[in-house]
Structure 1
Amino acid sequence: MNRTHIPGILAMAAIVLASNILVQFLFGQWLTWGAFTYPFAFLVTDVMNRVYGAGPARKVVVAGFVTGVICSLIGTQIIGEFGPLVTLRIAIGSGLAFLVAQLTDVAVFDRLRGGKWWHAPLVSTLFGSSLDTAIFFSIAFASGLSFIEPANDVSWANEALPLLGAGPMVPLWVSLGFADWLVKLSLALIALVPFRIIVGKLTAPAT
Protein backbone atom coordinates (compact mmCIF):
# COMPACT_ATOMS: atom_id res chain seq x y z
CA MET A 1 0.00 0.00 0.00
CA ASN A 2 1.34 3.44 -0.92
CA ARG A 3 1.99 5.44 2.23
CA THR A 4 0.52 8.57 0.65
CA HIS A 5 -2.88 6.84 0.47
CA ILE A 6 -3.08 6.13 4.21
CA PRO A 7 -4.52 9.56 5.21
CA GLY A 8 -7.37 9.07 2.74
CA ILE A 9 -8.06 5.55 3.97
CA LEU A 10 -8.07 6.70 7.60
CA ALA A 11 -10.29 9.69 6.79
CA MET A 12 -12.81 7.47 5.01
CA ALA A 13 -12.83 4.93 7.85
CA ALA A 14 -13.32 7.72 10.40
CA ILE A 15 -16.24 9.23 8.47
CA VAL A 16 -17.97 5.87 8.09
CA LEU A 17 -17.43 5.04 11.76
CA ALA A 18 -18.67 8.44 12.93
CA SER A 19 -21.71 8.25 10.66
CA ASN A 20 -22.65 4.80 11.96
CA ILE A 21 -22.56 6.16 15.50
CA LEU A 22 -24.29 9.48 14.81
CA VAL A 23 -27.11 7.85 12.81
CA GLN A 24 -28.49 6.70 16.16
CA PHE A 25 -29.22 10.30 17.18
CA LEU A 26 -32.09 12.30 15.70
CA PHE A 27 -31.77 15.79 14.30
CA GLY A 28 -35.23 17.27 14.04
CA GLN A 29 -38.07 15.19 12.63
CA TRP A 30 -36.58 13.86 9.41
CA LEU A 31 -32.83 13.52 9.89
CA THR A 32 -30.12 12.06 12.09
CA TRP A 33 -26.75 13.60 12.87
CA GLY A 34 -25.18 10.98 10.62
CA ALA A 35 -26.72 12.72 7.63
CA PHE A 36 -24.26 15.58 8.13
CA THR A 37 -21.08 13.50 8.37
CA TYR A 38 -21.60 10.73 5.81
CA PRO A 39 -21.67 12.99 2.68
CA PHE A 40 -18.04 13.94 3.34
CA ALA A 41 -17.14 10.40 2.29
CA PHE A 42 -17.62 11.68 -1.27
CA LEU A 43 -15.17 14.51 -0.56
CA VAL A 44 -12.51 12.01 0.49
CA THR A 45 -13.11 9.86 -2.58
CA ASP A 46 -12.98 12.84 -4.92
CA VAL A 47 -9.79 14.25 -3.40
CA MET A 48 -8.09 10.87 -3.74
CA ASN A 49 -9.35 10.58 -7.31
CA ARG A 50 -8.09 14.03 -8.32
CA VAL A 51 -4.68 13.73 -6.65
CA TYR A 52 -3.83 10.03 -7.03
CA GLY A 53 -6.25 8.64 -9.63
CA ALA A 54 -9.19 6.26 -9.82
CA GLY A 55 -7.30 3.20 -8.57
CA PRO A 56 -6.30 4.66 -5.18
CA ALA A 57 -9.79 6.19 -4.87
CA ARG A 58 -11.28 2.69 -5.20
CA LYS A 59 -8.93 1.44 -2.47
CA VAL A 60 -10.32 4.13 -0.17
CA VAL A 61 -13.86 3.02 -1.07
CA VAL A 62 -13.00 -0.58 -0.16
CA ALA A 63 -11.62 0.61 3.20
CA GLY A 64 -14.86 2.47 3.87
CA PHE A 65 -16.94 -0.53 2.85
CA VAL A 66 -15.01 -2.87 5.19
CA THR A 67 -15.39 -0.36 8.02
CA GLY A 68 -19.12 -0.16 7.36
CA VAL A 69 -19.50 -3.95 7.36
CA ILE A 70 -17.70 -4.17 10.71
CA CYS A 71 -19.95 -1.44 12.14
CA SER A 72 -23.04 -3.27 10.87
CA LEU A 73 -21.91 -6.57 12.40
CA ILE A 74 -21.38 -4.85 15.74
CA GLY A 75 -24.73 -3.07 15.46
CA THR A 76 -26.59 -6.34 14.96
CA GLN A 77 -25.32 -7.48 18.35
CA ILE A 78 -26.46 -4.36 20.21
CA ILE A 79 -30.09 -4.54 21.30
CA GLY A 80 -31.92 -1.25 21.59
CA GLU A 81 -35.43 -0.34 22.65
CA PHE A 82 -36.98 -1.78 19.48
CA GLY A 83 -34.55 -4.62 18.77
CA PRO A 84 -31.08 -4.76 17.17
CA LEU A 85 -29.66 -1.35 16.28
CA VAL A 86 -28.85 -2.69 12.81
CA THR A 87 -31.30 -5.00 11.06
CA LEU A 88 -30.45 -7.22 8.10
CA ARG A 89 -32.21 -4.85 5.72
CA ILE A 90 -30.32 -1.85 7.04
CA ALA A 91 -27.03 -3.73 6.86
CA ILE A 92 -27.62 -4.82 3.26
CA GLY A 93 -28.96 -1.43 2.22
CA SER A 94 -26.11 0.44 3.84
CA GLY A 95 -23.35 -1.73 2.38
CA LEU A 96 -24.81 -1.93 -1.12
CA ALA A 97 -25.65 1.78 -1.23
CA PHE A 98 -22.15 2.75 -0.14
CA LEU A 99 -20.39 0.47 -2.59
CA VAL A 100 -22.52 1.33 -5.63
CA ALA A 101 -22.63 5.06 -4.88
CA GLN A 102 -18.92 5.45 -4.19
CA LEU A 103 -17.79 3.37 -7.16
CA THR A 104 -20.17 5.35 -9.39
CA ASP A 105 -18.68 8.54 -7.98
CA VAL A 106 -15.18 7.31 -8.87
CA ALA A 107 -16.21 6.34 -12.42
CA VAL A 108 -18.06 9.59 -13.16
CA PHE A 109 -15.27 11.71 -11.68
CA ASP A 110 -12.68 9.89 -13.75
CA ARG A 111 -14.74 10.46 -16.90
CA LEU A 112 -15.03 14.20 -16.22
CA ARG A 113 -11.60 14.92 -14.75
CA GLY A 114 -10.49 16.89 -17.80
CA GLY A 115 -13.09 19.64 -17.41
CA LYS A 116 -13.31 22.64 -15.08
CA TRP A 117 -12.00 21.88 -11.59
CA TRP A 118 -15.45 21.87 -9.97
CA HIS A 119 -17.23 19.87 -12.67
CA ALA A 120 -15.99 16.38 -11.78
CA PRO A 121 -16.44 16.57 -7.98
CA LEU A 122 -19.86 18.19 -8.19
CA VAL A 123 -21.40 15.97 -10.88
CA SER A 124 -19.91 12.74 -9.51
CA THR A 125 -21.09 13.54 -6.00
CA LEU A 126 -24.60 14.36 -7.22
CA PHE A 127 -24.79 11.04 -9.07
CA GLY A 128 -23.33 9.08 -6.16
CA SER A 129 -25.44 10.80 -3.51
CA SER A 130 -28.66 10.19 -5.41
CA LEU A 131 -27.87 6.51 -5.86
CA ASP A 132 -26.85 6.18 -2.23
CA THR A 133 -30.11 7.62 -0.95
CA ALA A 134 -32.35 5.69 -3.34
CA ILE A 135 -30.67 2.34 -2.73
CA PHE A 136 -30.39 2.59 1.04
CA PHE A 137 -33.87 3.84 1.89
CA SER A 138 -35.59 1.52 -0.58
CA ILE A 139 -33.83 -1.62 0.65
CA ALA A 140 -34.03 -0.68 4.31
CA PHE A 141 -37.65 0.44 4.51
CA ALA A 142 -39.81 -0.06 1.39
CA SER A 143 -42.71 -2.44 2.04
CA GLY A 144 -42.26 -4.02 -1.39
CA LEU A 145 -38.89 -5.41 -0.30
CA SER A 146 -40.08 -6.92 2.98
CA PHE A 147 -39.15 -10.40 1.66
CA ILE A 148 -35.51 -9.54 2.43
CA GLU A 149 -36.25 -9.79 6.14
CA PRO A 150 -39.87 -10.89 6.74
CA ALA A 151 -39.52 -10.77 10.53
CA ASN A 152 -38.55 -7.10 10.46
CA ASP A 153 -41.66 -4.95 10.85
CA VAL A 154 -41.20 -1.75 8.82
CA SER A 155 -44.85 -0.73 8.88
CA TRP A 156 -43.92 2.42 10.80
CA ALA A 157 -41.72 3.55 7.90
CA ASN A 158 -44.55 3.01 5.42
CA GLU A 159 -47.16 5.11 7.21
CA ALA A 160 -48.57 7.64 4.73
CA LEU A 161 -47.71 11.20 5.73
CA PRO A 162 -47.30 14.54 3.89
CA LEU A 163 -43.85 14.79 2.27
CA LEU A 164 -41.65 16.56 4.83
CA GLY A 165 -44.83 17.49 6.64
CA ALA A 166 -46.18 19.72 3.88
CA GLY A 167 -46.19 17.95 0.50
CA PRO A 168 -48.19 15.12 -1.06
CA MET A 169 -48.92 11.96 0.90
CA VAL A 170 -46.03 9.50 0.73
CA PRO A 171 -44.63 6.74 2.95
CA LEU A 172 -42.62 8.11 5.86
CA TRP A 173 -39.41 6.56 4.52
CA VAL A 174 -39.72 8.66 1.37
CA SER A 175 -39.68 11.84 3.47
CA LEU A 176 -36.69 10.54 5.42
CA GLY A 177 -34.86 9.75 2.21
CA PHE A 178 -35.77 13.05 0.57
CA ALA A 179 -34.53 15.04 3.56
CA ASP A 180 -31.32 13.02 3.55
CA TRP A 181 -30.88 13.66 -0.19
CA LEU A 182 -31.34 17.41 0.24
CA VAL A 183 -28.60 17.46 2.88
CA LYS A 184 -26.29 15.52 0.54
CA LEU A 185 -26.93 17.99 -2.30
CA SER A 186 -26.27 20.97 -0.04
CA LEU A 187 -23.05 19.50 1.30
CA ALA A 188 -21.94 18.59 -2.24
CA LEU A 189 -21.84 22.33 -2.97
CA ILE A 190 -20.23 23.25 0.35
CA ALA A 191 -17.59 20.52 -0.04
CA LEU A 192 -16.26 22.20 -3.20
CA VAL A 193 -14.46 24.69 -0.96
CA PRO A 194 -12.43 22.14 1.07
CA PHE A 195 -11.96 20.09 -2.11
CA ARG A 196 -10.27 23.03 -3.82
CA ILE A 197 -8.13 23.82 -0.78
CA ILE A 198 -7.04 20.24 -0.04
CA VAL A 199 -6.26 19.41 -3.66
CA GLY A 200 -4.30 22.64 -3.96
CA LYS A 201 -2.17 21.77 -0.94
CA LEU A 202 -1.56 18.18 -2.02
CA THR A 203 -0.61 19.12 -5.57
CA ALA A 204 1.45 22.21 -4.78
CA PRO A 205 5.09 21.86 -5.82
CA ALA A 206 7.49 21.24 -2.95
CA THR A 207 9.59 24.21 -1.93
Structure 2
Amino acid sequence: MAIGLAIALSSMAGLVAASNFLVQYPINDWLTWGALTYPLAFLVNDLTNRAYGPAKARQVVYVGFALAVVLSIYLATPRIAMASGCAFLVAQLLDTYIFDKLRNTVWWKAPLLGSVVASFVDTLLFFTLAFAGAGLPLVTLIAGDFAVKVVLALLFLIPFRAMMPLTRPASMPSA
Protein backbone atom coordinates (compact mmCIF):
# COMPACT_ATOMS: atom_id res chain seq x y z
CA MET A 1 0.00 0.00 0.00
CA ALA A 2 2.76 2.48 0.88
CA ILE A 3 4.46 2.03 -2.50
CA GLY A 4 1.22 2.74 -4.37
CA LEU A 5 0.57 5.87 -2.33
CA ALA A 6 4.17 7.04 -2.81
CA ILE A 7 3.77 6.63 -6.57
CA ALA A 8 0.48 8.54 -6.48
CA LEU A 9 1.98 11.32 -4.38
CA SER A 10 5.11 11.77 -6.50
CA SER A 11 3.04 11.58 -9.69
CA MET A 12 0.62 14.20 -8.39
CA ALA A 13 3.33 16.65 -7.31
CA GLY A 14 5.35 16.12 -10.50
CA LEU A 15 2.36 16.55 -12.80
CA VAL A 16 1.22 19.75 -11.15
CA ALA A 17 4.71 21.27 -11.05
CA ALA A 18 5.34 20.34 -14.70
CA SER A 19 1.95 21.73 -15.70
CA ASN A 20 2.66 25.01 -13.91
CA PHE A 21 5.91 25.32 -15.81
CA LEU A 22 4.26 24.40 -19.12
CA VAL A 23 1.25 26.74 -18.67
CA GLN A 24 3.65 29.61 -19.33
CA TYR A 25 4.15 28.43 -22.92
CA PRO A 26 1.25 28.84 -25.33
CA ILE A 27 0.64 26.40 -28.15
CA ASN A 28 -1.65 28.92 -29.85
CA ASP A 29 -4.12 31.67 -28.85
CA TRP A 30 -6.40 29.32 -26.95
CA LEU A 31 -4.18 26.64 -25.42
CA THR A 32 -1.03 26.20 -23.35
CA TRP A 33 1.15 23.11 -22.99
CA GLY A 34 -0.02 22.75 -19.38
CA ALA A 35 -3.49 21.77 -20.58
CA LEU A 36 -2.03 18.55 -21.94
CA THR A 37 -0.33 17.42 -18.74
CA TYR A 38 -2.51 18.60 -15.85
CA PRO A 39 -5.54 16.36 -16.58
CA LEU A 40 -3.40 13.35 -15.68
CA ALA A 41 -3.69 14.56 -12.06
CA PHE A 42 -7.39 13.67 -12.15
CA LEU A 43 -6.52 10.16 -13.35
CA VAL A 44 -4.02 9.78 -10.50
CA ASN A 45 -6.61 11.04 -7.99
CA ASP A 46 -9.33 8.74 -9.30
CA LEU A 47 -7.10 5.65 -9.26
CA THR A 48 -5.93 6.51 -5.74
CA ASN A 49 -9.53 7.05 -4.62
CA ARG A 50 -10.60 3.74 -6.17
CA ALA A 51 -7.77 1.76 -4.60
CA TYR A 52 -7.47 3.37 -1.18
CA GLY A 53 -10.65 5.38 -0.64
CA PRO A 54 -11.38 9.08 -0.29
CA ALA A 55 -9.43 9.64 2.94
CA LYS A 56 -6.15 8.46 1.39
CA ALA A 57 -6.95 10.29 -1.86
CA ARG A 58 -7.34 13.51 0.14
CA GLN A 59 -3.99 12.86 1.84
CA VAL A 60 -2.34 12.53 -1.57
CA VAL A 61 -4.04 15.77 -2.64
CA TYR A 62 -2.87 17.69 0.45
CA VAL A 63 0.74 16.53 0.32
CA GLY A 64 0.84 16.80 -3.48
CA PHE A 65 -0.52 20.33 -3.16
CA ALA A 66 2.21 21.40 -0.74
CA LEU A 67 5.03 19.86 -2.78
CA ALA A 68 3.69 21.19 -6.07
CA VAL A 69 3.33 24.76 -4.77
CA VAL A 70 6.92 24.79 -3.50
CA LEU A 71 8.26 23.31 -6.77
CA SER A 72 6.11 25.67 -8.83
CA ILE A 73 7.48 28.78 -7.15
CA TYR A 74 10.85 27.83 -8.66
CA LEU A 75 9.59 26.45 -11.98
CA ALA A 76 7.01 29.12 -12.73
CA THR A 77 6.14 32.33 -10.88
CA PRO A 78 4.80 32.80 -7.36
CA ARG A 79 1.48 34.02 -8.83
CA ILE A 80 1.11 30.90 -10.98
CA ALA A 81 2.14 28.70 -8.04
CA MET A 82 -0.45 30.25 -5.73
CA ALA A 83 -3.20 30.27 -8.35
CA SER A 84 -2.45 26.67 -9.20
CA GLY A 85 -2.35 25.64 -5.57
CA CYS A 86 -5.74 27.19 -4.89
CA ALA A 87 -7.35 25.75 -8.03
CA PHE A 88 -5.67 22.37 -7.54
CA LEU A 89 -6.80 22.01 -3.93
CA VAL A 90 -10.43 22.94 -4.64
CA ALA A 91 -10.67 20.90 -7.86
CA GLN A 92 -8.95 17.76 -6.61
CA LEU A 93 -10.98 17.68 -3.40
CA LEU A 94 -14.13 18.16 -5.48
CA ASP A 95 -13.06 15.31 -7.78
CA THR A 96 -12.42 13.12 -4.73
CA TYR A 97 -15.90 13.89 -3.37
CA ILE A 98 -17.73 13.33 -6.66
CA PHE A 99 -15.81 10.13 -7.41
CA ASP A 100 -16.63 8.74 -3.98
CA LYS A 101 -20.34 9.56 -4.32
CA LEU A 102 -20.49 7.84 -7.74
CA ARG A 103 -18.09 4.96 -7.07
CA ASN A 104 -20.88 2.35 -6.94
CA THR A 105 -22.44 3.30 -10.28
CA VAL A 106 -21.39 2.27 -13.77
CA TRP A 107 -17.54 2.16 -13.83
CA TRP A 108 -17.04 5.21 -16.08
CA LYS A 109 -19.36 7.67 -14.31
CA ALA A 110 -17.20 8.43 -11.28
CA PRO A 111 -13.96 9.20 -13.13
CA LEU A 112 -15.64 11.04 -16.01
CA LEU A 113 -18.08 13.21 -14.08
CA GLY A 114 -15.62 13.91 -11.28
CA SER A 115 -12.93 14.96 -13.74
CA VAL A 116 -15.20 17.09 -15.93
CA VAL A 117 -16.88 18.99 -13.09
CA ALA A 118 -13.61 19.48 -11.20
CA SER A 119 -11.80 20.49 -14.40
CA PHE A 120 -14.35 23.23 -14.99
CA VAL A 121 -13.82 24.63 -11.49
CA ASP A 122 -10.04 24.24 -11.77
CA THR A 123 -9.90 26.03 -15.12
CA LEU A 124 -12.00 28.99 -13.99
CA LEU A 125 -10.11 29.44 -10.73
CA PHE A 126 -6.64 28.97 -12.16
CA PHE A 127 -6.86 31.24 -15.19
CA THR A 128 -8.72 33.95 -13.28
CA LEU A 129 -6.22 34.00 -10.41
CA ALA A 130 -3.08 33.47 -12.49
CA PHE A 131 -3.70 35.73 -15.45
CA ALA A 132 -6.42 38.30 -14.66
CA GLY A 133 -5.17 41.71 -15.68
CA ALA A 134 -2.25 40.27 -17.65
CA GLY A 135 -3.66 41.26 -21.02
CA LEU A 136 -4.26 37.68 -22.12
CA PRO A 137 -7.43 36.44 -23.85
CA LEU A 138 -8.81 34.80 -20.68
CA VAL A 139 -12.15 33.64 -22.10
CA THR A 140 -10.38 32.02 -25.05
CA LEU A 141 -7.78 30.37 -22.82
CA ILE A 142 -10.43 29.12 -20.38
CA ALA A 143 -12.57 27.69 -23.19
CA GLY A 144 -9.60 26.03 -24.90
CA ASP A 145 -8.18 24.62 -21.68
CA PHE A 146 -11.52 23.23 -20.54
CA ALA A 147 -12.27 21.69 -23.96
CA VAL A 148 -8.94 19.84 -23.88
CA LYS A 149 -9.58 18.66 -20.32
CA VAL A 150 -12.97 17.22 -21.33
CA VAL A 151 -11.45 15.38 -24.31
CA LEU A 152 -8.65 14.03 -22.13
CA ALA A 153 -11.11 12.99 -19.39
CA LEU A 154 -12.85 10.89 -22.03
CA LEU A 155 -9.57 9.45 -23.33
CA PHE A 156 -8.31 8.71 -19.81
CA LEU A 157 -11.25 6.36 -19.32
CA ILE A 158 -9.17 3.87 -21.34
CA PRO A 159 -6.23 3.69 -18.89
CA PHE A 160 -8.62 3.96 -15.94
CA ARG A 161 -10.53 0.90 -17.17
CA ALA A 162 -7.30 -0.95 -17.92
CA MET A 163 -6.00 -0.27 -14.40
CA MET A 164 -9.21 -1.21 -12.60
CA PRO A 165 -8.05 -4.78 -11.91
CA LEU A 166 -4.86 -3.40 -10.35
CA THR A 167 -6.76 -0.99 -8.11
CA ARG A 168 -9.38 -3.24 -6.58
CA PRO A 169 -10.93 -1.23 -3.79
CA ALA A 170 -10.66 -2.44 -0.24
CA SER A 171 -13.95 -2.44 1.58
CA MET A 172 -14.22 0.95 3.20
CA PRO A 173 -16.87 3.29 4.47
CA SER A 174 -17.60 6.33 2.36
CA ALA A 175 -15.96 9.41 3.86
TM-score between both structures, scaled by the size of structure 1:
0.75
Question: How many angstroms apart in 2 are the aligned matches of 1:21 and 1:137?
Answer: 14
Equivalent residues in 2 for 1:100-111 (5 A)?
A: 100-111=90-101
Question: How many angstroms apart in 1 are the aligned matches of 2:168 and 2:19?
Answer: 29
In the TM superposition, what is the alpha-carbon distance from 1:175 to its structure 2 partner?
A: 0.5
SS in 2 for 1:116: coil
Per-residue CA deviation, residues 20-41 of structure 1 (Å, 9 max, x unaligned), is 2322332122222111000110
In the TM superposition, what is the alpha-carbon distance from 1:72 to its structure 2 partner?
A: 3.0
Per-residue CA deviation, residues 114-171 of structure 1 (Å, 9 max, x unaligned), is 101001111111111000001111222334xxxxxxxxxx2x22xxxxxxxxxxxxxx
**One-letter code aligned to 1:180:** D
* Aligned equivalent of 2:52: 52
Determine if the alignment matches structure 1 residue 115 to structure 2 residue 80.
no
* Equivalent pair of 2:112/2:153 in contact (CA under 8 Å): yes
Question: How many angstroms apart in 2 are the aligned matches of 1:71 and 1:173?
Answer: 25
Question: How many angstroms apart in 2 are the aligned matches of 1:198 and 1:63?
Answer: 23
> How many pairs are equivalent?
169
Moved over 6 A (4+): none
TM-score between both structures, scaled by the size of structure 2:
0.88
**One-letter code aligned to 1:21:** F
Structure 1: gaps spanning 5 or more residues? 76-84, 144-153, 158-171
* Equivalent pair of 1:43/1:191 in contact (CA under 8 Å): yes
* Aligned equivalent of 1:178: 143
Question: How many angstroms apart in 2 are the aligned matches of 1:136 and 1:21?
Answer: 14
* Equivalent pair of 1:16/1:67 in contact (CA under 8 Å): no
**One-letter code aligned to 2:163:** I
Identity within the alignment, %: 46
* Equivalent pair of 1:12/1:63 in contact (CA under 8 Å): no
Determine if the alignment matches structure 1 residue 197 to structure 2 residue 162.
yes
Question: How many angstroms apart in 2 are the aligned matches of 1:94 and 1:16?
Answer: 8
Q: Comparing both structures, which one devotes a greater share of its residues to helix?
A: 2
Structure 2: gaps spanning 5 or more residues? 170-175
**One-letter code aligned to 1:203:** R
Per-residue CA deviation, residues 164-197 of structure 1 (Å, 9 max, x unaligned), is xxxxxxxx11111110000101000000000111
* Aligned equivalent of 2:8: 8
Equivalent residues in 2 for 1:1-207 (5 A)?
A: 2-75=2-75, 85-88=76-79, 90-143=80-133, 154=134, 156-157=135-136, 172-203=137-168
In the TM superposition, what is the alpha-carbon distance from 1:49 to its structure 2 partner?
A: 0.6
Question: How many angstroms apart in 1 are the aligned matches of 2:60 and 2:117?
Answer: 18
In the TM superposition, what is the alpha-carbon distance from 1:63 to its structure 2 partner?
A: 2.6
Give the superposed CA RMSD. Answer: 1.9
**One-letter code aligned to 1:193:** I
Structure showing greater radius of gyration is 1
